[in-house]
Structures are given as C-alpha cells and as structure tokens.
Amino acid sequence: MNKQHTTRTANANKTAAPVAPGENGAILPEFGRVGDVQRIFGIKRGYLYNLIHAGTIKSVCLRKPGAATGCRLIHLQSVRDFLHRQMTEARD
C-alpha cells in the first residue's frame, strides 16, 4: 500500500505531459527536417526534394567540410507560402 501511495504522489507532482522531440504544439519553428515537413504538412519526401531542387521551397544542408552526409533543414515558412500559392492558383 505504501508503494501505491508513492506512485500517486509522484504522478501528482507533474505539471505537464512529457514532450517528445519534434513535438512543438502550435508553435511553428523556423526550420525543420524532412520528417517534420511530412508530419506537419503531409508532403512526401520525394515531392519535397523536387520542390527544393526547383527552388520553390528553401532549404539548407548543414555538413562539415568534406563530409558526404549532412542534415537537411527546410525553411517551414517557405512551405507554408507554397501551399498558400497553391490555394490561390486553385481558385483562379
């Protein structure tokens, strides 16, 4: 019985639910990874890279000099702007 009381007390002291990496709630960060764009906007990886190569969406690849791999970060506001343009063009 004492152990159950300790568990309830420990849980009662928490003020918020734990947050997993990448979960921001309603706040949209300035940059995100490819997985974030897929989760937030529903744009698949291949289509996203096509938009990046076409210059429609802004991104940057962070890597050390001479490294073959890096971290691709996408400017999330440029994704939003692209989607708004698509909505406008669809109405015309």
One-letter-per-residue 3-state SS of the chain: CHHHHHHHHHHHCCCCCCCCCCCCCCCCCCEECHHHHHHHHCCCHHHHHHHHHCCCCCEEEECCCCCCCCEEEEEHHHHHHHHHHHHHHHHC
Domain boundaries, the chain: 29-92
Structure confidence at residue 91 (pLDDT): 81
pLDDT in 10s for each residue of the chain, 92 residues: 555 555 555 556 666 666 666 565 667 789 999 999 999 999 999 999 999 999 999 999 999 999 999 999 999 999 999 999 999 988 86
Structure confidence at residue 19 (pLDDT): 62
Structure confidence at residue 4 (pLDDT): 52
Structure confidence at residue 77 (pLDDT): 96
